[in-house]
Structure formats: C-alpha cells, structure tokens
Structure 1
Amino acid sequence: MTQDTPASAPSSSEQPARHSTAVDAVATSYYETLLELMPNFATELGIPGHETEYQDYSPAGIDALADAARNTLRLLDGLQPADDVDAVTLDAMRERLGLDLEIHDAGLGYAELNNIACPAQNIRAIFDLMPTATAEDWGNIAGRMANVPGAIDGYIASLRAGRERGLVAARRQVGIVIEQSTKYAEDGGFFDTLGSTAHSDDADLPDSVQQQLRSGADAARGAYRSLASFLQDDLLPTAPEKDAVGREHYALMSRLFLGSAVDLEETYAWGVEELDRVIAEQEAVANEIREGASIEEAIRILDEDPARQLQGTDALQAWMQELSDRAVDAMAGVHFDIPEVMRRLECRIAPTNEGGIYYTGPSDDFSRPGRMWWSVPEGEDSFTTWKETTTVYHEGVPGHHLQIATATYQRALLNPWRRNAIWVSGQGEGWALYAERLMQELGFLADPGDRLGMLDAQRMRAARVVFDIGVHLELEIPERWGEGTWTPEKGYGFLKRNIAISEGQLNFEYNRYLGWPGQAPSYKIGQRLWEQIRDEVRASEGGSFDLRDFHTRALNLGSVGLDTLRRALVS
C-alpha cells in the first residue's frame, strides 16, 4: 500500500454554521462510546489512538454495545428537536438503535457468520485501511496482528453462545469461512505477505519492527488456524443444512438493511415485474448493438471487441482511475456540489482474491481519501470495460464516494454520529443504483455497450430481489423461471441465467445472498424507494422542483433509513 497523501481538511467556514444542541450532545456521546468499544471503527475513520486494538467480539462485547444503545435511547427520551437537523437525528437514532436492540434480543449477533461480512473477514480486512508510510505505522500493524488471537477468541466465544441458544449459521456458510480462515492462516499467506512488504518512506525499517511483524504474523496465522479448527470440529457438526432463514429472521434483516418495513410479498412480485422490464430494455439495446441480436449475442460481440478489453490488474486499475477522474471532473459544479477536498478518489486492486468490488470512505479529516477496491478472484486476468463502466459510477461519483464523502464533509451541519457512524444499505446502495440510472439520464451511457452494462447490473439487482426473498421465504417460483417453491439449487440456475459474470464471481454472489439475508435486495428496493421519494418531492414542489437541489438536500442528510429519508424530504 502507498502512503496516504495529506489533504486539506474541510473548512467549517465553507459550510452552514449551526450550534450544537442537546440532541447532538447525546448523539456525540454515543459516537464516542462506539469509538471506545470498536477501535477498528476508529481506524476506518482514520482517528488515531486505537491503532493496535480490536473490539471485544465476545458476548460481553456484544452486550456492551447493546447497553450503550439502550442507555442512549433513554437519554433521548423527552428531548425535543431544536431544528430540522435534530428532528432527523432523533428519528434516525430511535429507528437504528431500537432495531439494534431487537436484533440483540433475538440473539443474532452471537451467530454472525457468512462469506462476506462477519468478524472472520472484518478482523483481517482492517489491515487494508492502516497507514504504511513510517516505522511507527508498521509497528502499529505488528501490534494489531499480535492482537488478532484475542479478537478471534472473543468471536469463537460468541459463536459458542449462539450455538447454546440454537443459533448457528447454515452449514454452507460455515464451510466457506473454514476455507477463508485456512487461507488466511497459510504460511506465505496474507499476514506473511503484509509483513514482507514493510518499508518506511523516510528511513530503513528497524530490525525490531521487522521482528515484531514476523511474530505478529505468526500470532495472526495461529489465531485463524484456531478459528478454522473450531469451525470444523465444533460448529460444523451442529450447523443446519437449510439455508433459508424464514420470515421472522428475514423481516428483521430486511428492516435493518432498508430502514423501512416493506411488504415482502408485494416487493417480491414487483421484483419479478422489474426483472421482466429490464430484460425487455436489454433486448432493445442489444438490437442497437447489432440488428436482430439477442442479449447473449450482443454480450459476445462486446466481449470480443478488443477496444473494450483489459489485460491484467494494472490495466484494470489504471482504467478505473482514469474513468473515475473524468466522472468527478464532469459532475463537479455542474450536476452536483463537490467541494475540492472530495474530488480525490483512489482506485485500487484489493489485496484479497475473494471477489467483489467495494468502496471505503475517507478518513474524518480527508487525509486518507475515499477508495474503490476490486477484489479479483484468483486466476482472473481479463476484464471488459463495457460491463464495468457503470460499476465505477456506482462506487465512485455520483455513487458511494459522493454520498459518503458528502456526509463526512458536513462537519458544521451534522454531529459525528450522523456523519460517520450510520450506514443503511438500502439508502446507500439504493442511491448508488439510482446514480447509475441517473448517469444514463445525463448522457454518460450513450454508448450502447456501456448502457447494456448498466442494464446488466440492474438485471442482476432485480434478480437478487426475486432470489433472496424467494429462497429465504420459500415462495412460489414464477412460471417463466421454473416451478414449485424456491430452493438454493433452483436459485443457482436462475441466477446463472440472469447474472452475466464469471463462475467465480457468481459462486461468491450466490453464497453471499444465502448467508446475508435481506442485504442484496436492499440495493434495488432502495433504488425503488429513492425514485419514489424523488417523485413525491417533485409532485409536492411542482414547478419549483430542482433536481440538483434535491440531490444536495438528500445527500446532506447522511445515510439514514429510507423511512427517515422520506419523512425528512417529503412535505
């Protein structure tokens, strides 16, 4: 990893002045408690002071987070909003923290295990965000590696507690995390590689730090070996074969990821209709690429076009960066308000091979910029630009980077909990899908290949609504796609017909949907709700409606639940 280049911190004078309120004080106190209880969260934000620490992943640590939420809600009782910002803060905190307690009371936090977003991955992934410029930075990395065993021990204790309550992740997910943990534990694997790349920009790295890195890597690898053994010997024999989590569990997770309680059957039926609509749109664009071409034929034409091919991850990274920079330049001051400090976005190849493309936000002072990461599956070395142009807009500008960096930037308007500590997938990912469609409306997807790529992504997200709700609630399969009720096996064939990605990526996505119920559909459902909210505001404001102003008002709220978003924007 390269050194983080300092950027100018946002100036409060550039933003609306606002006095801190009693509601802000409670929210800020809760935020500070989160930083104490979750030191890795402080690292994500680039806040110093916790560089070698991990949160307590044991039942005691999980309970401490629940106690903090419960105490905060008690402090909010009786408080009245001083202004509109307070009103949104109260709405958002009561919704988010109240839901956190429902999930805690259901015991789900003790059994958190899947292929993408659980402590097994998060304990490792925090190293991707740690500075590496100085000997002190590398000492911090060594110190955190040395603390991996404690973090893993706490996680194992929670998984045991979950098992005692009859809560164990599906056998499929346990098996995947065994494979991931075994890979992390390999000699010459992630931790050894990280230590071997250590160097200081201003001096030779001291022998003592190099020794700390070696011993830290040994400790971290040993911890992941212990996790793999526990999962294999203790948890796997008790893990259920069934992947479907059922209605009660699913409804809770859907609310978590949306910040809205949707009618699941109505949303499923809409997902089926939306999938059909996107396919029809794809067919029309395929005909533009070559008259009479099917979608599959159009994809083959695009894949075989040398002008749309990239060879190697270096070429992929350079293309991502160039396209991202052009989007920022075109959007800033024309379609969106983008302060100078937000205009730096780094595109990187992730240090893992697990699949997926993701964004990490800037540090609180913008000294570490927002970053777009591509985790390339092992063995994949050829890429096509037509399919991924819309992905760059999704992860960058006007997608996640514009959204998340805007909230971080609003230090004079929003308290730190609002800016940095709340993320609602349906609002955030829904915005990113909304942004993809917006780029088409603004003329940035005029090329039919790039437009087919956007529709390919939209089709995937619509298919996920059908698959995710259908499989976990075991609903009837639409006639076009099969018969009977959904099973994971029937769902795999359905996804393969609707998601044009490599087999490695498809397997990753399939397992993700099965192990993280409610999250994947939140993208498309979130887009639907964003578009509904925009249309409601347009209808309310009539001729005075201004799209750029709507976007500014909405993004300045930060990431809140979609019901909170609607209440804040719709008169």
Structure 2
Amino acid sequence: MSVRDYALIAALLCAPASLPSQASPQASTQSSAAQLDDFYASEWEYGLSHSPEFATYVGDTRFNDRLGDYSPAEIQRSEAHDVEALARFQAIPAAGLTEQQTISRGIMLRQLQMSIDSYRLKEWEMPVSQINGVHLDLPAMYSQMPFNNAKDYRNYIARLHQVPRVFGEVTTTMKLGMKDHLMQPRYLLEKVAVEAQDIADTHGMKSSFALPLAHFPVSITLAEQQTITHDLLATIEKDVLPAYVTFAAFVRDTYAPAGRTEPGIWALPNGDALYKQAIREHVQTTMDADAIFNEGMREVAEINTQMLALAKTQGFNDLASFHAHINADPKLHAISSDQLLKLYAGYEAQSRAKLDQIVPVVPALGLEVVPMDAFRAPNAVPADYSPGSTASQRPGRVNVNLYNPTSRLLLNVEAIAYHEGVPGHHLQFAFADTLQGLPNFRRYASYDAYSEGWALYAELLGKEMGFYQDPYSEYGRLQNEMWRAIRLVVDTGVHQKHWTRQQMVDFFKQHTAMDDQNIQTEIDRYISWPGQALSYRLGQQKILQLRERARIELGPRYDIRKFHERVLSLGPVPLDVLDESITRWIQAQKTASK
C-alpha cells in the first residue's frame, strides 16, 4: 500500500472528537450503543472538517477547496481535544453491546490513547522524509479529487493557492524538531531537498500539478477549459513552484545539515520510547524488539532452507552461485517500462479470474495498473497500492515503479502483483469499502499488521490458487518471504541494536538476490519509518495461525472461503482483536453444526 495513503488515513484516525463542553441532557437516558454512535459521528465530522484531504479521499466533497491546518498550534489543539475526548469516551458505559459494537469501542479507546501518546512523544515534529510528507502528498492530491465539472477544477485551484501557507506551517513544525533534536538522518533529508527541487523545476503542463488538465470532461466547454488551464497554470507558477523552491532551499541549506548522523531512532531523545511506540502502533504485539529480532533470525534460517532446495532443482548447489546466476542473466531483468506494466496487469487479470476460489462473493470495485508518480519513484518500492472508493467512483490502483526499469529483476513481480492487487490489498480494501453497519472510523481504519499481513498472506494464496508455474517466479515468492523475514532482523537491528546502514545492506545481500536499487530504497525506508516493516511478516503469521486453528477445530466443516470472508468482513483491526473474533467465529461454527 502507498505510504502516502497510510499518512492520509493516520491523519484522520488521530483527529480528535468535537464534543460539547457539557454532556448532553439525553445522554443518561440513551443506551450505551446510542451514546457511542453519537460519539463516533461527532468525531468523524470533526475529523473530516479538520482533514479536508481525507474527506476528499473518502468521497465527502464539502471541503474540496481547502487544505488542512499543519501548524504546531493546530496539533496542540488536537492533543487537547483528544485528552478531553478520551475522558468523555471512557464515561460511556459498555453495557449491552453487540460483538461489533464491543470491537468498535475497544478500537476507538485504543486509537485515542495511541494518539495522545504519540503527541506527547512529539513524533509530529518529524513531518517529512524521503517517502512521506506534504512535499509528496500535494502533487499526488489530484488522484484523490473528482474532476467532473468546472467547480471541481476551481476547488483544486483553490487548494493550490494554499500551498505556500501549508509549507510555512510545516516548516515551523520542522524548526521545532530541530530545536528538540527530533530529526531524520541527514542523508535522507538531503533526498527530501532533491525531491522538492525536482518538483519546483518542472513547469507548465509537465508539472504533476497540471495533470488534471490532460483530460477534461465533455461537460466543460472549450472556453471554460481555456480559462481553467490559464488559471491553473498561473497558480502553479505563482504559488506552488515558488513555495517548493523556498522549501527545498530550507531543507537543503538549514534543515538537512542539522539531521542526525546515526540511522537508528535510538539516537533521538526518548529514542527507545519512540521505537516501542512504533512497534505498538504498527504491529500491536506483546513481543519486544529483542524477541522480534530472534524470531526474524529463526525465520531467515527456515526460508533459506526452502530457497536452497529450489536452487538445487535448477542445478545450483548453493545460494551464492544461484544468486550470481540470477543477477547476471539478462532474461531475468526487465527490458522496458512497458514490459513491467504488462506483467503486472497480466498477473492481476489472472488472479481476479480465480477469486471465487477464496471468497464467496467478489467485490465489484475496479482495479487499474498504472505507472507510479515519477516524482516519488526514485525512493519508492517496486509497486504499491492506492485504495479505491465506490463513493468517490475511484478504482483501486496498483502503482508500478518504472524508475530505471532495466535495473529491476523480474523474479518477484508476480508475487508483488498478488500482494498489491488481488487477492491482496485491493481485495481487502474492496471488502472494507462494502461494509455496512460499521462506524466510518472502522471502515477506513489503518492497521498495518492486518492490511500488510493480509497482503503477504495473499502472495501465498497465489501459490494455493495454482500460480507461480515458472520456478523463478516461485523463487521470487520465496525471496519475498525472506525479504519480509529480513525486515524483522534489520528493523530491530538498526533501531534497537545500533546496526549501521551497511550491516543492513550486507544482511540483505547475504540472504537474497534482490537488485541493488530495491535494497537501497528498502533500507532507507526502514530507517525513516521505524516499526512499519515489522507488520508484514508478523501479520501474515497471525493469519496463518488462525487459519490452521480453524482448519483443525472445524475439521470437515472448515471452508477456507468462509474463513477469508470472516477475516475480511471485520475491516482493518488490531491483531489481538482479529484473534479474539476468529476464536468466537470458530466456536459459533461448532455450535451451529450441532
């Protein structure tokens, strides 16, 4: 999934409730469920109005002419609201709730507590990296907005007028981070300056901000098109690009030179607490960093055995010689951007044709395979996913990284296609899009271990659906398993055990045949986004554990399609909530069959 979309989702989930200063006179006579529903609705409304970009993302167009407030003052107001909201939320009785209502209550309580803890650790003082931040969010904003009429274009132009204000607010926040020594590594911040300058240097119709001008709807007259084109291009030149020039210069000349020198988050004030918070946020596990490291080392050894067995079927007695062969064989490398796009599209079509094998009902939300935005491709993963929305009439998108295509191996393209599209992220988010009766904050929740765990699990489902007929694609799938197991080692290695960046690179090269372009961007991602990389393997393992438990306990009554339906019908949830819910489902299946 796109890190940009995770940032958007997190922005809303951390937004506080807008509640009256005094309890409603009717509150004491309302049922607990009704009071909770009122709370959720109030918080949702506040979140949309304070995060206009997210409102657009979920299909609410009321605020499409606004950008959010990114100032430290707004962040401090949000913290105060969250503290008050938590107190009022805890005062609502928990009696008489259904299973889903109980789940919703627990998740909201967890989100409010997590948000307050994050504020107090001042994570918000590090708002940009080479993969996250407004400098990348803003030029991608067009992909979430509707452009059906002239008003939609006017809304977009109105937002672009606000870009200088947003950069000013973010820069103020970054200066607080400098003062508190809360900063990304210097070499990564230097990449931010390059990204921003590249955007600033791209003018006119070539600018990413001008992409909505490429295709006007037929409802807009030619005269209107010309006026909109003039106004939009003028806004880009007058407001947007100068703001990027100023921001790039600030990062290059002032901010990046103050960046930390060590790659691990341990080097920051309260670094250990920040890493514990990151693990809690992304994985929701009781395992500490040392336990995760040890689990990663165990899994690396186990997967290494499977990879060696496959290498031997291809005539190689050790992985080093097999990897050397892979890296030297031109047939295993991409030859063009067009080839990469066609491969991803073909695998998505192949998988979609067989989805009825794994779920009883296939959601109808469309899926596109498209090139990744060029401005973020150099520092991005091989492909990622942007969720679609029925309400917004927006299909899901698999974004394929076409930067330097001939440097990319083809081994794991098939596995990544299943991960990002179907039966991975797209199937999971398409299910969430159809859920009825859940509070909106549940439908649009973001829990990495659930979503990324499902997507990695989907790579294995591809094998169970009969894919990976080419042994090199199967090796690519195994290498993806190794890739995610390595993450358990190197993420905890750098942030807990004080590994150097070179140690991380060496560990990757020792255990995989991944191309250097991918290794370098992956390592930088783990350094800038602590804990998130742990979610894939730990989430997948939890789903596999629950599946095996269901298979054993239900025996002949076990139906994998119904198991998947149960997992997906919850929407994104923490792993412990998933475990409890599947346990109840297994017991209900047993009772129903008696």
Within 5 Å, which residues of 2 pair with 1:102-501? 102-132=117-147, 134-188=149-203, 192-195=207-210, 197-202=213-218, 203-204=221-222, 206-218=225-237, 219-246=239-266, 247-290=272-315, 292=317, 294=319, 296-297=321-322, 300=325, 304=329, 306=331, 311-332=335-356, 334-342=357-365, 344-352=366-374, 353-354=377-378, 355-356=380-381, 357-365=383-391, 367-377=393-403, 379-381=404-406, 385-410=410-435, 412-420=436-444, 422-474=445-497, 486-501=499-514
Counterpart amino acid of residue 280 in structure 2: R
CA contact (8 A) 2:289 2:492 kept: yes
Q: 1:384 to 1:234 in 2, by over 3 A?
A: closer
Match of 2:579 among 554, 557, 566: 566
The superposition leaves residues 332-387 of structure 1 with CA deviations (integer Å, 9 ceiling, x where unpaired) of 3x211344523x2111111223332211111252611111112322x324755442
TM-superposed CA distance for 1:85, in Å, is 0.6
Percent identical residues? 25
Match of 1:505 among 518, 527, 538: 518
CA contact (8 A) 2:333 2:406 kept: no
Q: 1:52 to 1:314 in 2, by over 3 A?
A: farther
CA contact (8 A) 1:181 1:227 kept: yes
Counterpart amino acid of residue 461 in structure 2: L
Which stretch of the first structure deviates more once superposed, 139-148 or 92-101? 139-148
Does 2:56 match 1:43?
yes
CA distance in 1, matches of 2:573, 2:321: 39
CA contact (8 A) 2:36 2:105 kept: yes
Secondary structure of the 2:114 match is helix
Secondary structure of the 1:176 match is helix
Secondary structure of the 1:368 match is coil
Secondary structure of the 1:570 match is helix
The residue number in structure 2 matching 1:555 is: 568
Which stretch of the first structure deviates more once superposed, 107-116 or 315-324? 315-324
TM-superposed CA distance for 1:310, in Å, is 5.1
Q: 1:201 to 1:189 in 2, by over 3 A?
A: closer
Counterpart amino acid of residue 546 in structure 1: D
Q: Structure 1, unaligned stretches of length 5 or more?
A: 1-18, 476-485
TM-superposed CA distance for 1:37, in Å, is 1.0
- Superposed CA RMSD: 2.6
CA distance in 2, matches of 1:498, 1:182: 36
CA distance in 1, matches of 2:554, 2:243: 58
Secondary structure of the 1:206 match is helix
TM-superposed CA distance for 1:534, in Å, is 3.1
Q: 1:424 to 1:102 in 2, by over 3 A?
A: same
Does 2:93 match 1:79?
yes
CA distance in 2, matches of 1:423, 1:220: 30
Secondary structure of the 1:371 match is strand
Q: Structure 2, unaligned stretches of length 5 or more?
A: 1-31, 267-271, 585-594
TM-superposed CA distance for 1:242, in Å, is 1.4
CA contact (8 A) 1:257 1:425 kept: yes
CA distance in 2, matches of 1:212, 1:426: 44
Q: 1:134 to 1:311 in 2, by over 3 A?
A: farther
TM-superposed CA distance for 1:84, in Å, is 0.6
Which stretch of the first structure deviates more once superposed, 126-135 or 223-232? 126-135
TM-score by length of 2: 0.84
TM-superposed CA distance for 1:294, in Å, is 4.0
CA distance in 1, matches of 2:529, 2:202: 30
CA distance in 2, matches of 1:534, 1:173: 40
Higher-RCO chain (CA-CA 8 Å, sequence separation at least 6): 1
CA contact (8 A) 1:289 1:449 kept: no
CA contact (8 A) 2:408 2:515 kept: no
Secondary structure of the 2:216 match is coil
CA contact (8 A) 1:431 1:530 kept: yes
Counterpart amino acid of residue 255 in structure 2: L
Counterpart amino acid of residue 328 in structure 1: R
CA distance in 2, matches of 1:536, 1:69: 38
CA distance in 2, matches of 1:282, 1:455: 7
The residue number in structure 2 matching 1:6 is: none
CA contact (8 A) 1:69 1:97 kept: yes
CA contact (8 A) 2:335 2:405 kept: no
